[in-house]
Amino acid sequence: MFLDMAQQVGEVLDLDPIQHLDILVRDWEWSENYGKESGKEYLLETKKVKTEPVLSL
C-alpha cells in the first residue's frame, strides 16, 4: 500500500522513481537491543522460516 501511494504521488509531482527503500523492523515485545549484525541474522532466520516447506500430517 505504501509503495503504491508513493508511486502515485511521484507521478502527480513528476518525481523520480524510488531507487531504494530502507525498512526498519522492530519487535516491541522484546526489550533486548540488537545491533546491525544481530538484526541481519534475525532477518535471515525469518526469511528461512518463511521459505521452508510446510509439512502435512
Write down the number of H helices and E strands in the chain.
Answer: 2, 0
What is the model's pLDDT at position 13?
86
Alpha carbon dihedral 37, 21, 31, 42, in 10-degree steps, equals -40
DSSP 27: -
Greater model confidence, 13 or 56: 13
What is the model's pLDDT at position 27?
62
| Mean pLDDT, residues 47-57 | 71
Give the tens place of pLDDT for each residue, 6-50.
Answer: 778 888 888 777 666 777 766 666 656 667 888 788 888 888 877
42 phi-psi bin (left φ>0, alpha ψ -120 to 50, beta other): alpha
What is the model's pLDDT at position 26?
66
Would you kindly state where each structural domain of the chain is located, as residue ranges? 20-52
What is the model's pLDDT at position 4?
80
